[in-house]
Amino acid sequence: MALIRKRRLTEQQQRRIQKQQKSRQEEIDTSNDLEGLVVQHYGRQLEVQALSTPDVHPEKPAVSAGEPEPFWKPIELGSVWRCHTRTNLEALVTGDRVKWQADPNTGLGIITAIHPRQSLLTRPDRYHKVKPVAANVSLIVIVFASFPEVAPSLIDRYLVACADADIPALLVLNKMDLVKENDPILDIVQEYKNLGYEVMQTQSSGDVSALSQRLSGETVAFVGQSGVGKSSLINTIVPEAAQKTNIISENSALGQHTTTSTRLIAFGENSALIDSPGIREFGLWHLTTESVQNGFTEIANLVGYCQFRNCTHKHEKQCALREAASKGEILPRRLESYLRLIDEIAEAQQKN
């Protein structure tokens, strides 16, 4: 997932939304409202999973003998309904908690209200617009593998995105069956552990119970390059999920973006996994230098110790960052990633 960002609503905004919802609810009969969870969104069409059922279930119409059975979808806990939203409701995304009403005669529902969000992940699309991806995510799992080969700078970008969204990150090295003894990817794993990040190692077809346990109770977004095995891992953790997976063609080690829409899969009592398409391109235009620093704390700690206040950390003498890198106190490749991100932001800001 590209640069994800959590939008915090100001109290005033929240009050305004609540007020709007209240006045809207006064116009419509809310006595049949159910609780629901948006499990998938495509434009204004959504799929909602029932988290509650009516106190009094609607009655199935009686049919006289010989007449055909009319369509009837019972409102069952966990059942999934295609829904529309009331037009004046803001755009909803996967992970949103909603109030909704079901029509068993058509099998369709209508969303009447949205609960306040704990977090909202967004990413810039290629037209530099911010697109919402998922709501209420509490943990981001960054999946990587030795095939397709991982670019550590890509992991750094994901970590910046997580820090910016203020959501904890868990790194998962998948396809352990492809990892040889002394594989260089294990050094990368160790580097991130040394930086204080939580890392786990998995194989999609193997025992993933440690990962399942870690994810229990969380609403988890899986991110990472196409083909690293996000959908495969989800299928092993929740076999009923049946997420589509793809054989990576030999020609295109980058994979095919098999997963094309963001989908939420309920898991256990109180957990959910969100499979989001792999994203290869990253827009950074909406980030600030500060948010990049939040993803590079070991480097941010040194900023300010250079001889020149406006040090570019590229050629100046007595640059605290370069000195630390040459002494091995910070990783030269992390410094490189950091400087590249800072440059990208500066460039994007010049263009705007």
Ligand X SMILES: Nc1nc2c(ncn2[C@@H]2O[C@H](COP(=O)(O)OP(=O)(O)OP(=O)(O)O)[C@@H](O)[C@H]2O)c(=O)[nH]1
The CA–CA distances, whole Å, from 70 to 54, 63, 73, 106, 138 equal 21, 8, 10, 10, 43
Using DSSP, state whether 266 is helix, strand or coil. strand
Rule CB under 6 A: is residue 251 a binding residue for ligand X? no
**Distance (Å, whole) CA 226 – CA 243:** 14
Question: Is position 175 annotated in a ligand binding site?
Answer: yes
Tell me the closest approach of the beta carbon of residue 311 to Zn ion, in angstroms. Answer: 3
Rule CB under 6 A: is residue 232 a binding residue for ligand X? yes
Judged by CB under 6 A, the residue of 104, 132, 278, 295 near ligand X is 278
Judged by CB under 6 A, the residue of 247, 251, 281, 328 near ligand X is 247
Compare residues 143 and 162 and give the one whose CB is closer to Mg ion: 143
Residue 213: CA atoms inside 13 Å, Cβ hemisphere, count? 5
Residue among 81, 17, 25 nearest 53 (CA) = 81
Compare residues 126 and 309 and give the one whose CB is closer to ligand X: 126
Question: Is position 268 annotated in a ligand binding site?
Answer: no
Residue among 100, 11, 7 nearest 47 (CA) = 100
Rule CB under 6 A: is residue 257 a binding residue for ligand X? yes
Residue among 189, 199, 194 nearest 330 (CA) = 194
Rule CB under 6 A: is residue 62 a binding residue for ligand X? no
**Distance (Å, whole) CA 84 – CA 71:** 19
Rule CB under 5 A: is residue 276 a binding residue for Mg ion? no
Compare residues 112 and 226 and give the one whose CB is closer to ligand X: 226
Find the length of the chain: 352
DSSP characters over 200-219: EE--TTS--HHHHHHHTT-E
Show contacts with ligand X in window 166-185 (CB under 6 A). Answer: 174-175, 177-178
**Distance (Å, whole) CA 58 – CA 289:** 56
Compare residues 41 and 313 and give the one whose CB is closer to Zn ion: 313
Name the site residues for ligand X (rule: CB under 6 A). Answer: 174-175, 177-178, 203-205, 226-232, 245-248, 255-259, 277-278
Binding residues: 174-177, 224-232, 306, 311, 313, 319
Name the site residues for Zn ion (rule: CB under 5 A). Answer: 306, 311, 313, 319, 321
Binding residues for GTP: 174-177, 224-232
